[in-house]
Amino acid sequence: MTEHSHSLRILLAEDSHTNQRLALGILSKWGHRVVVANNGREALERLHDQSFDVVLMDIQMPEMDGIEASRSIRRREQNHRRDQLDGNDQIQLTRVPIIAMTANTMEGDRRECLDAGMDDFVSKPIRQSELRRVLDAIAPVELDQPSQTTPVQHDLSPNCDGGTKSGSEYDWDTVLHALGGNCDLLQQVALAMKSECPSCMDQIDQAMEQSDSSLLRRAAHTLKGSLRLFGSTTAGSLAGEIEVLAKNGEFRNAKGIIDQLKPAIAAFMIEL
């Protein structure tokens, strides 16, 4: 696998610990330096104090989502450029590329991202080939030098035996393939899921108790997005249904789906 000609400094704005672990595992393997922000507001704070070559921006995050954060970044750049031009009309300011990370692939969603000042998209769950495509546009790979990365190993270790057990809906070989055959990364992602699933379920219960449609939608979306890495699963489909119901404020209908989701998540935790 070829390396980039230089290490990029990347701001990763992502609230899901599972997706954070996935992105960090891929990006660090490629030699990039990554700073994590857990929401859009943190992303703005990081950009105020540090410079980055690119921002990977999740769309749905708490406190400030990716659309609002991107608009704020572009406004800040425009205001700073205007201030500088008042003193020197020859000055050139760097416009940081913003790459949207989204599970929504509808044309309207993509148009909203572009209108907010984003430059490109990668779908979630993250795929290495797609992520490499957008980063290569910023820092092309160095093709003249041999790779110094460790070759990807697809042979499964004793602690990463893959395969689909009888009666299981999870094909771990497929999951492992999506992670480039990296057993260590698979185990890290699985550990992140083991903590994230109970947290999302707690938020879903809290949202139902408080009739908080925003929290319910966000928790279901996070859960759905993380589960998508593991393929088309019962739990992932149910989380997606809850997200849609939350958007419409249909708490009564959501309760029945949540009652189905809980045993599905319990089965998934056993699988992990």
130 vs 148: CA distance, rounded Å:
21
pLDDT at res. 110? 81
Query: What is the reported pLDDT for 105?
Result: 61
- CA-nearest of 38, 43, 53, 101 to 73 is 43
Confidence tier at 33 by pLDDT (50, 70, 90): very high
Does the pLDDT of residue 62 top 80, yes or no?
yes
Q: What digits encode the pLDDT tens for the residues 198-236?
A: 999 999 999 999 999 999 999 999 999 888 888 768 999
Look over the chain and give the mean of its residue pLDDT values, rounded to a whole number. Answer: 83
Question: What are φ and ψ of residue 94, in 5° steps?
Answer: -80, 130
pTM over 0.85: no
Total H helices, total E strands in the chain: 10, 5
CB crowding 179-194: b at 16 or more within 10 Å, else e? bbbbbebbebbbebbe
Token representation of residue 110: 């993509």
Q: Which pLDDT score is estimated for 153?
A: 39
Single-letter code of the amino acid located at 13: A
**Considering only CA atoms, which of 225, 232, 228, 235 is closest in space to residue 267?**
235
Read off the pLDDT of residues 98-137 as tens digits, 9 standing for 90 and up.
Answer: 999 987 666 677 889 999 999 998 988 888 888 998 998 8
